[in-house]
């Protein structure tokens, strides 16, 4: 999935913000429905799509709030279209109930969360990376979910398309997670000539009489009924059997929830994505996402210039965490440095994955991004200690 064909891209670089790249990626992925409620620093996605979607024959709705927006997206997807919503921290909190519904009822959709300072209203115009666990565990109950964490305008474009692909293929909500700096900074991006990737939904086929809406194929994904095709279906937030009707039968409940996890395991090759920079011989590996990873990339060069063996591991797919790739990238590392704009979130996952290793955090909660110099200083300190 990572191997996106760019061979016929003709660079005609133009200035694009991360949010504008997201809107363009959604259009190119075949998204025809957006429902949302504006919130800084995500509003440019809605603003752009309010102009572009109707022109492309799609539907844009500004809803009364984020709860309704998420509900509309779930409904639109059940109606057979690729659907998107975009928000930031406080709005993302409101969407959680319906994100859980989409995970449980297996409704494909894409949710963008642009991270700003929190908690609560917090710092609307300042970056943060403190929603790492909210994207994974924000809704109640056990459920798997896919979270993608792009780090540039170009990557936001590509990952938005990939988010729609994964949502359709795995029949699951996919969260696109990036910070205010990446969202609102504009970068020269060449998008010319690239044929967008389209995953088509697996529709129900075969005899209508015996159709069961939650009877999965071997890949764990049940085909969805296309409205109008005549398949009887039932969708509920209650635990359900293959018929779609509510069930609390212990065996049925256990099997169904197990299948939700197993289907993502089945597609891990498509889901996993990461970038490893100069990790082959690295004694210190920096693990970072978003703007912190952009700063870390520069810090790696600075440290290498001083003779320190420092590398960068950047998960592009944040959840499920690409743990095999992390272990490979850190096999020679004596210490791991996790710079992030929170009080210690990604660090917890790295500690969990690499229990035998020294893991240090570099945490900034001031509303300012971490600088390359701050990361380089911390990495150099670690490199000289180990």
Partner 1 sequence: MPKSRIELRFGGTGGQGLVLSAKLLADALALEGRHVAQSQTYEPTSRGGFCNADLVVAAGEVDYPLPVAFDHLVLLDKIAVKPSWPRLKDGALVIADSRLCPELPDGSMRRCHFPLNRTAIELGSERVTNIVALGVLIEMTGLCKRASVEKVIRASSPRGFLDLNMDALAAGYDLAKAPVAAAAS
Alpha-carbon gap, residue 156 to 17, rounded angstroms:
10
Q: Which is nearer to partner 1, 17 or 160 (CB)?
A: 17
User: CB of 298: closest distance to partner 1 in angstroms?
Assistant: 4
Q: Is 48 in the site for partner 1 (CB under 8 A)?
A: no
Q: How far apart are CA 337 and CA 312, in angstroms?
A: 9
Binding letters toward partner 1, positions 113-142, x by CB under 8 A: ----------xxxx----------------
Candidates 48-56, 100-108, 233-241, 295-303; binding stretch for partner 1 (CB under 8 A): 295-303
| Shortest Å distance, C-beta 124 to partner 1 | 4
Smallest distance, partner 1 to C-beta of residue 149, A: 16
Shortest Cβ distance from residue 184 to partner 1 (Å)?
Answer: 7
Per-residue interface string for the shown chain with partner 1, residues 149-188, x marking contact by CB under 8 A: ---x----------------------------x--xxxxx
Q: Distance (Å, rounded) from C-alpha 331 to C-alpha 297?
A: 19
Residue 299 neighbours by CB under 8 Å, 6+ apart: 286, 310, 372, 373, 375, 376, 379
Question: Site mask, partner 1, residues 49-88, x = CB under 8 A?
Answer: ----------------------------------------
Q: Which stretch binds partner 1 (CB under 8 A): 10-18, 46-54, 246-254, 353-361?
A: 10-18
Q: Considering CB under 8 A, how many residues would be counted as binding partner 1?
A: 25
| Residue labelled with tokens 């010319």 | 192
Which member of 25, 89, 244, 372 binds partner 1 (CB under 8 A)?
372
- Pick out residues in 23-42 that bind partner 1 (CB under 8 A): 40
Q: In the complex, what is the shortest distance from the CB of residue 277 to partner 1, in angstroms, rounded to a whole number? A: 11
Paired with 287 in beta bridges are 313
Give the integer Cα–Cα distance in Å for 150 and 16: 15
Stretch that binds partner 1, among 21-29, 57-65, 196-204, 370-378 (CB under 8 A): 370-378
Residue among 2, 15, 119, 205 that touches partner 1 (CB under 8 A): 15
Task: Name which of residues 296 to 335 contact partner 1 (CB under 8 A).
Answer: 297-298, 301
Q: Could you give the maximum distance between any two Cα atoms of the chain, in Å?
A: 70
Site mask, partner 1, residues 182-221, x = CB under 8 A?
A: --xxxxx---------------------------------
Instruction: Provide the binding-site residues for partner 1, judged by CB under 8 A.
Output: 13-15, 40, 123-126, 152, 181, 184-188, 291, 294-295, 297-298, 301, 369, 371-373
């Amino acid at each position: 999935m990572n191997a996106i064909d760019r061979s016929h891209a003709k660079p005609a670089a133009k200035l694009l913000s991360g949010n504008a790249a997201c809107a363009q990626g959604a259009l190119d992925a075949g998204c025809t429905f957006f429902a949302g409620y504006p919130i800084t620093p995500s509003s440019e996605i809605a603003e752009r799509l309010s102009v572009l979607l109707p022109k492309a024959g799609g539907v844009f709705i500004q809803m009364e709030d984020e709860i309704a927006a998420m509900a509309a997206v779930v409904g639109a997807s059940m109606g057979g279209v690729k659907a998107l919503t975009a928000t930031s921290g406080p709005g993302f909190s409101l969407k959680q109930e319906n994100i859980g519904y989409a995970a449980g009822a297996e409704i494909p959709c894409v949710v963008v969360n642009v991270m700003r300072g929190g908690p609560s209203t917090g710092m609307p115009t300042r970056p943060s990376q403190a929603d790492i666990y909210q994207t994974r565990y924000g809704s109640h109950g056990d459920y798997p979910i896919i979270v993608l964490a792009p780090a540039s305008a170009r990557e936001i474009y590509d990952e938005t398309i990939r988010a729609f692909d994964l949502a359709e293929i795995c029949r699951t909500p996919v969260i696109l997670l990036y910070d205010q700096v990446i969202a609102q900074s504009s970068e020269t991006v060449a998008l010319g000539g690239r044929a967008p990737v389209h995953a088509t939904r697996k529709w129900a086929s075969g005899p209508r009489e015996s159709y069961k809406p939650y009877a999965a194929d071997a890949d764990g994904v049940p085909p969805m009924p296309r409205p109008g095709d005549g398949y009887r279906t039932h969708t509920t937030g209650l635990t359900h059997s293959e018929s779609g009707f509510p069930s609390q039968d212990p065996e049925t409940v256990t099997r169904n929830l197990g299948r939700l996890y197993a289907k993502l395991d089945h597609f891990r090759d498509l889901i996993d994505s990461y970038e490893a920079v100069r990790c082959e011989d690295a004694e210190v590996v920096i693990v970072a996402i978003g703007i912190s990873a952009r700063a870390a990339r520069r810090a790696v060069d600075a440290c290498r210039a001083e003779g320190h063996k420092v590398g960068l591991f950047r998960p592009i797919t944040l959840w499920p965490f690409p743990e095999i790739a992390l272990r490979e990238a850190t096999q020679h590392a004596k210490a791991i440095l996790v710079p992030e704009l929170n009080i210690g979130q990604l660090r917890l996952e790295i500690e969990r994955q690499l229990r035998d290793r020294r893991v240090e955090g570099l945490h900034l909660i001031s509303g300012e991004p971490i600088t390359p110099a701050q990361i380089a200083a911390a990495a150099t300190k670690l490199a000289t200690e180990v």
